[in-house]
Amino acid sequence: MNKQDVSSTNVIPVNETDFDSAVLQSGVPVFVDFYADWCGPCNMIAPTIEALSEEYDGKVKFVKISVDNNQELAMKYDVMSIPTGMLFENGIVKDSLIGAYPASAYRQRIDNALGPMRLSQPRSEA
């Protein structure tokens, strides 16, 4: 069994059908994890992404997109290597990170993209 299949309460599976409503029209920033089930590094970071989703609960929404099942989305956002993490805000890619990294690297990118004012605001939408 791979790590992406582990039941997750905070990292939401998204596909091409619900991408616009889940990501582009979200009222909060969205971290998108582009992954594949067969990808070792993707499986390696899945618990890290889950932990970050809990840490940023109410401030950032976390979703995962299988590049195998959603090739049009992967092509649209030029995902050439996986794992690729992208942070969307107001429908725009604010930052991206290609490869598997420790939680601190993702945290730093999210914090930098959102800025200190956004991170200290109260919960608005999940």
The active-site residue, picked from 11, 42, 67, 73, is: 42
Q: Which amino acid is at 112?
A: N
Active site residue 39: yes
Instruction: Give strand ranges (E) for 18-102.
Output: 30-35, 61-66, 84-89, 92-98
**On the CB side of 108, how many CA atoms lie within 13 Å of its CA?**
6
What are the phi and psi torsion angles at 89 (to 5°)?
Answer: -140, 130
Per the listing, tokens 């091409």 go with: 16
The active-site residue, picked from 22, 28, 30, 39, is: 39
Q: Which residues are catalytic?
A: 39, 42
